A and B are shown apart, each in its own frame.
Chain A
Amino acid sequence: MSAVLRVQGLAKRYGELLALSDVSFDVSTGEMVAIVGPNGAGKTTLLSIIAGIQQPTSGEVSTGPGEVGWAPQQSALYSKLSVAENLELFARLERVQDPRAAVDRMLEQTGLRERERERVGRLSGGNRQRVNVALGLIADPPVLALDEPSASLDPGQRERLWEFIGRLAAGGTTVLFSTHNIGEVQRHAGRMLLLGDGRLLFDGIPASLPGAEPGGDLEQAVVAFLREHEAEGTG
């Protein structure tokens, strides 16, 4: 399968702090890739560089910003505009050929048709996040980058969001998402990138992580793997 996204030798430095160091990987069309790691591992930095929010200190990303849809952890929406107005605004800013048609498509995909005239500020957290993701998808990008998309949602809202994202991936959209929830990785991701201290420590299907047993607790395996690497680093 051809790579829709290629990341090569990516590094990001904030003054003295090295947030990312020599991160390289390829992602194919329709893949669901989870980016996992402890706080400060560089997950958001990696996704925001892929989405074109930040520039890397060195290395390169094969896609342009217009080819990657972006949904930040905290929803980036105008709370005084309605769902449809938010979608139409970004459709126009993304220079989508037929903004109205794109809005209709996203309202159908996100199941927000009934709430299209409702102001975003009055929506529930789950619906806000669906609009947030929909804005990332408005220009129909081949790659969607989601930063902790389910972090502030209740279990029901989380489930509906993953159904929606799953349909996207099934439709051929490549999805990269960061998360602290290893259960979500097990259930939804076909591949896991494990970051620690800005370095890519593991890249593969979740079940192939060293220490992970079939049907076993992946979270424990991730924690053990990170401890081992930490010990190697200090040793």
Chain B
Amino acid sequence: MRSLLRKDLLILGRSRLLLALLVIYPIAIALLIGFAISRSPSKPRVAIVDETPPGQTVRVGSQRVSVSQYAQEIFKQVDAVPVGSREEAIEQIKSGQVLAAVVIPANIAARISSDVSQGNLEVLYNGDALEQSLVQSSLESALAQANLGFSEQIQQAAAKAIQSLLTGGNLGSLGAPADLIGLREIPASLTSIIARTPAGAERTELERINTFATFAAENLAVSRTVLSTISQPIHVTSRLLHGRRTPLNTFAVVVAVSISLMFVCVLQAAGGLALEREENTLSRLLRGLVSREGLLAEKGLLAAACSFVLAFAMLAGVGAFVTLDWSRVGLWVIALAFGALAFGALGVAIGALAREVRAATLLAFLLSLPLALLALVPAGAVSGAFLGVINVISFVFPFKACLQALDCAVNSAAPPLPGSLAHLAGLTILFGLLARAGLSRAE
């Protein structure tokens, strides 16, 4: 086994392209992921064309809300790039300087104040289906936040107007009389007047007015609460049922490391075993010099060791950009080791079936890529039957179990680590047996 291992390391060392790939790959991927996560804009870059005249306001009862405040709300939600015209915004979208543009038309205040129509915004964007989807979802979210902020300001203005009606005084609007009586004071004044008024038609009329004033004052008092309920009718409280919430950036790190671990390990193990057949040395080795089990173990362990070092280097490299909990490093090592062993076993199983390195590499690649994609399909994104198929495939191959083990080790995410490790150990044995059977069949 030691001689074989030394021989494989010599061959690996002389395969300059492969060696360079093994060294450069983790560094490059770690840097790419690190920069992508740490430098990615948290807000979409959007051009804003504000065509509204300066100082334009929306009238709410006796109150006024400046339209520029709506633009300010949008500015808060996006990485805003103010531009002077619609044409300039289109140019910036086409050149890729901004993802999209929002045009606030000149008549927006008039439309909101008209009481019969809503204000309309124009959103401009470009790109392929993926970009369109990204821009649409980012902008919808940003505009919803801006609308909410603006409607809160309108709601506050409306509440202030109602308060003025209730308490009286100076309403502040142009042309309104000063020192008006408040609606709340009217019932008491009227009751006093009614007491001094003799019974008859006039008193009855005053009593009807008093009843209305009392009712109106009581209902307007609660309308302020109603207004705040309308502006945000449902408040959402989220609670995760198990485990702790995994931050998206550290989950992305776990996915990238798992994919790299899988590709390097499976390709190296499959290629290493297929190389023995391609060089015609397999039959020479297996005529009593090395046992089949020993040969499979050597190839699988070497690939697992190389990919483990690579994956750990990646994780440590990405750690320079993303905050990882280094106190859990022992768990990372365990999860990576179990994952590497399972991928090594899968690799030798593929290598045992293939007759040459190119076929083994192609087979390993064609198998690994869809496995990674399937394991990342969210549960609610596909039909129940298809999800069942995906779950079965993900269960019988090591990628998902490795992803879960590493996610738990790095992010303390569910499911618990022992279950995933046991799953990986089972798959290591299963693929080891398949490789053994494949090697016997091929010989």
What 1/0 mask marks residues of chain A from 89 to 133 whose CB sits below 8 Å from any chain B CB? 110111000000000000000000000000100000000000000
Q: Which residue of B lies closest to A120 (CB)?
A: B279
Asked if B3 contacts A89 (CB within 8 A), the reply is yes
In the complex, B225 has a CB within 8 A of chain A: no
- Known A-B contacts A76-B279, A77-B281, A78-B11; the reply to A93 vs B3 at CB < 8 A is yes
In the complex, B132 has a CB within 8 A of chain A: no
What 1/0 mask marks residues of chain B from 34 to 54 whose CB sits below 8 Å from any chain A CB? 000000000000000000000
Give Cα A81–Cα B275 distance, bound, in whole angstroms.
Answer: 13
Q: Which residue of B lies closest to A76 (CB)?
A: B280
- Known A-B contacts A66-B288, A90-B289, A93-B289; the reply to A78 vs B3 at CB < 8 A is no
Give Cα A93–Cα B2 distance, bound, in whole angstroms.
Answer: 9
From B280, B281, B283, B289, give the contact of A94 (CB < 8 A): B289
Contacts of B287 in A (CB 8 A): 51-53, 65, 70
Asked if B10 contacts A80 (CB within 8 A), the reply is yes
Asked if B279 contacts A78 (CB within 8 A), the reply is yes
Q: Which bracket fits the contact residues of B?
A: 10 to 19
Asked if A65 contacts B288 (CB within 8 A), the reply is yes
In the complex, A21 has a CB within 8 A of chain B: no
Asked if B15 contacts A93 (CB within 8 A), the reply is no
In the complex, B441 has a CB within 8 A of chain A: no
Contacts of A70 in B (CB 8 A): 284, 287
Q: Which residue of A lies closest to B278 (CB)?
A: A79
Q: Which residue of A lies closest to B288 (CB)?
A: A65
Asked if B284 contacts A81 (CB within 8 A), the reply is no
Give Cα A132–Cα B280 distance, bound, in whole angstroms.
Answer: 11
In the complex, A166 has a CB within 8 A of chain B: no
Contacts of A72 in B (CB 8 A): 280, 283-284
From A75, A77, A92, A119, give the contact of B3 (CB < 8 A): A92
Asked if B284 contacts A135 (CB within 8 A), the reply is yes
How many of chain A's residues have a CB under 8 angstroms from any CB in B?
25
In the complex, B285 has a CB within 8 A of chain A: yes
In the complex, A74 has a CB within 8 A of chain B: yes
Contacts of A119 in B (CB 8 A): 14
Asked if A80 contacts B283 (CB within 8 A), the reply is no
Contacts of B286 in A (CB 8 A): 53
In the complex, B4 has a CB within 8 A of chain A: yes
In the complex, B290 has a CB within 8 A of chain A: yes
In the complex, B7 has a CB within 8 A of chain A: yes
A selection of 16 A-B contacts at a CB cut-off of 8 Å is: A52-B287, A53-B283, A53-B287, A66-B288, A70-B284, A72-B280, A76-B279, A76-B280, A77-B279, A78-B7, A79-B279, A80-B11, A80-B15, A81-B10, A94-B289, A119-B14
Q: Which residues of A contact B (CB under 8 A)?
A: 48, 51-53, 64-66, 70, 72, 74-81, 85, 89-90, 92-94, 119, 135
Which 8 A-B pairs rank lowest in CB-CB distance, beginning with the nearest?
A76-B280, A65-B288, A93-B289, A92-B3, A52-B287, A76-B284, A80-B14, A80-B11
- Can you add 15 more A-B contacts, CB < 8 Å, to A65-B288, A81-B11, A89-B4? A51-B287, A70-B284, A72-B280, A74-B280, A76-B279, A76-B283, A77-B279, A78-B7, A78-B279, A81-B10, A85-B7, A90-B284, A90-B289, A93-B285, A135-B284
